[in-house]
Structures are given as C-alpha cells and as structure tokens.
C-alpha cells in the first residue's frame, strides 16, 4: 500500500474480521493507528488475532458473535461501545453465500444468508449510529458485491441480499446525512478468500470463464478491497455518501453493450 493513512484516535468496528477481506480491513486500520473491534464466531481465531495484535502494538478489541442471532447484535454493539467508547466507523463486512438453484431453495439457507448479509448490517448500523449522532458524525461502509448489480447462477439469496444492501445504503445515507454520518458500499468482484475459493476456484473452467469477463483479467486481492474501504472511511471522502463503489476490474463496464 502506497497511501499512508492516519486514523490515529479513531475507533472502528469491522464485522467478519476473523479472516478474509474483513481481517485485511481491520489490520490496515490498526496499522494506520485506529483502535478496531474485531468480531466473528471463531473464538480460537479471535484469541489468536488478539495476541498477534498485542505483539504488534495494535489497539485491538475482540468480541464473539453470531450475526444471525438477534440477541448477539445488541450484545456485540454494547460490548464494543462499553470498552472502546464512541465508534467513529462501522464496516459491515461479514457475509456468506449458500449456492442453491432458484427452483430448489431451502428456507433455512435463504434466511441464513439474508440475516447475515442484510439484516445484521441494518440493525448494527442502527445500533452504532446512535452514538455517532451524539458525537457529531461517523462513517459506515457496507461490503456489498458485484452481485449487487448483476446475476450469477445459483446466487438467488446472495444477489437478493447484496442488491438489498445497496437500497438500504441509499436510505441510510439520506436519513443520517443531517447528522454528518456517511453511508457507502463497495462491490468487489471475486476475491479468493474462503468464500471466493468455494464458489469460484473449485472448477478451473468456471474460474477461467469468470476471469475472462474482467477487462483487467484477474480477481481482486483483499488488500485492494481494504484500500477502497479505508478511503471511504477517511476524511478524504468527506462528501461521498450513498455511493456504491465497484471494485470489479471493469467487469460491469461492458455490461449492457
Ligand atoms: N470473496 C469474494 O469473492 C467476495 C466478492 C464480493 C463480496 N464479498 C463480500 O465480502 C465480505 C467478506 O467476505 P470474504 O470473502 O472475506 O469471506 P470469508 O473469508 O468467508 O470471511 C467471512 C467472515 O464473516 C464472518 N461471518 C460469517 N458468518 C458469520 C456470522 N453468522 N456471524 C458472525 N460472523 C460471521 C466469518 O467469521 P467466523 O467464521 O469467525 O464466524 C469471517 O470472518 C462478505 O460480505 C462477502 O459477501 C466477497
């Protein structure tokens, strides 16, 4: 990373930060001086991250939560706010995908995807922005997807959740703007995290086919998603709100032609 961000004195919460994109966002924020609340379900991984951050001198707070459970959402927000004070920014990053055909959907899978990818970001934003209002501002970034804008086979629940997240981003940006709270979202194409590998790396033909649609001819790295998120969280993006930033190597540029 060539840009030297300075988030000293700021507090952030990044959901789904035990691994993948969220972990990279959290590490970049802490490297730039921020205190970061790290969360996920994997308690072993949370302990490991806490120890590693202590060695690095990073300001890290951890809390376990299953975002599909309503009670965990309030407990999580209380736990970070009580220990960290007011939160300056929230990154709603945690997300899952369960591939199913549109004519063979299971209620359990659809509910799990919608709760994790859409309900949790909405409720957590509501919980964390209460404090942001009192302190005079803040920033929320929702990690949406290229799937917010285009369809993929067997992605019914995932595409619905990610397109829903864009609609929600715009409403929240409109309602919270008068409190100096900005709400944006980012839309990466495939990132070869655990989630990305499961969906796009198992079948070499499927991977090649997808990469072929990307003008820059490769998938995105977690660091590249984190850079965009840090920009949107930063004061450099002070007048950007309600926006959706694609990180797709040009994938959508040719759509519709
Ligand atoms: N990878 C891609 O190709 C891609 C492309 C576009 C958008 N995205 C989006 O980017 C975000 C991050 O994805 P990723 O690729 O980094 O995925 P990942 O490597 O599978 O990581 C997902 C993270 O979410 C957490 N998580 C999942 N379900 C949870 C739950 N019920 N409660 C609490 N935490 C939960 C996981 O933590 P625990 O396991 O510890 O619970 C983990 O930290 C997601 O919103 C995804 O939709 C990914």
Which residue's alpha carbon is nearest to atom 44 within ligand 1? 95
| CA–CA separation, 44 and 28 (whole Å) | 21
Residue 41 CA: nearest ligand 1 atom is: 41
Residue 76 in tokens: 């999580």
Spell out where 31-146 has E strands: 35-40, 59-64, 89-92, 138-143
Distance 253 CA to ligand 1 centre (A): 26
Distance 16 CA to ligand 1 centre (A): 5
| CA–CA separation, 186 and 21 (whole Å) | 12
| CA–CA separation, 20 and 16 (whole Å) | 8
* 3-42 tens-digit pLDDT: 789 999 999 999 999 999 999 999 999 999 999 999 999 9
Give per-residue burial for 109-122: e unless 16+ CB within 10 Å, then b.
bbeebbbbbbbbbb
Please list every protein residue whose CB sits less than 6 Å from any atom of ligand 1: 16-22, 40-42, 45, 65-68, 93-96, 116, 143, 145, 188, 190-191, 193-196
Distance 97 CA to ligand 1 centre (A): 9
Nearest by Cα to 200 from 213, 157, 208, 254: 208
Looking at residues 229-234, what average pLDDT do you find?
A: 98
What's the topology of domain 11-248? Rossmann fold (3.40.50)
Residue 191 CA: nearest ligand 1 atom is: 3
Distance 178 CA to ligand 1 centre (A): 31
* 36-84 tens-digit pLDDT: 999 999 999 999 999 999 999 999 999 999 999 999 999 999 999 999 9
- Based on the residue annotation, tell me whether 58 is a catalytic residue of this protein: no
Distances (CA, A) of 107 to 70, 97, 104, 111, 198: 18, 14, 10, 6, 21
Judge whether residue 257 has pLDDT over 90: no
3-state secondary structure of 121: helix
Which residue's alpha carbon is nearest to atom 8 within ligand 1? 145
Which residue's alpha carbon is nearest to atom 19 within ligand 1? 20
| Centroid of chain to Cα 35 | 17
What is the residue extent of each domain of the chain?
Answer: 11-248
């Amino acid at each position: 990373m060539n840009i030297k961000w300075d988030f000293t004195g700021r507090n952030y919460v990044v959901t789904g930060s035990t691994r993948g994109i969220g972990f990279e966002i959290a590490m970049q924020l802490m490297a730039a001086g921020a205190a970061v609340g790290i969360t996920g379900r994997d308690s072993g991984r949370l302990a490991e991250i806490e120890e590693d951050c202590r060695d690095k001198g990073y300001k890290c707070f951890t809390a376990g939560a299953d975002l599909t459970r309503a009670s965990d959402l309030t407990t999580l927000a209380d736990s970070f706010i009580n220990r960290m004070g007011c939160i300056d920014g929230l990154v709603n990053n945690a997300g899952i995908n369960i591939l199913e055909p549109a004519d063979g959907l299971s209620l359990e899978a659809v509910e799990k995807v919608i709760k994790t990818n859409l309900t949790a970001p909405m409720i957590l934003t509501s919980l964390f922005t209460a404090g942001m209002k009192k302190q005079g501002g803040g920033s929320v970034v929702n990690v949406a997807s290229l799937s917010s804008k285009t369809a993929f086979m067997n992605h019914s629940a995932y595409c619905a959740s990610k397109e829903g997240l864009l609609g929600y981003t715009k409403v929240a940006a409109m309602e919270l703007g008068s409190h100096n709270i900005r709400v944006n979202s980012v839309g990466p194409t495939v990132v070869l995290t655990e989630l990305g590998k499961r969906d796009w790396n198992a079948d070499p033909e499927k991977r090649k086919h997808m990469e072929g649609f990307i003008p820059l001819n490769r998938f995105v790295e977690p660091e590249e998603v984190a850079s965009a998120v840090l920009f949107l969280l930063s004061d450099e993006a002070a007048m950007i709100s309600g926006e959706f930033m694609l990180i797709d190597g040009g994938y959508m540029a040719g759509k519709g032609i």
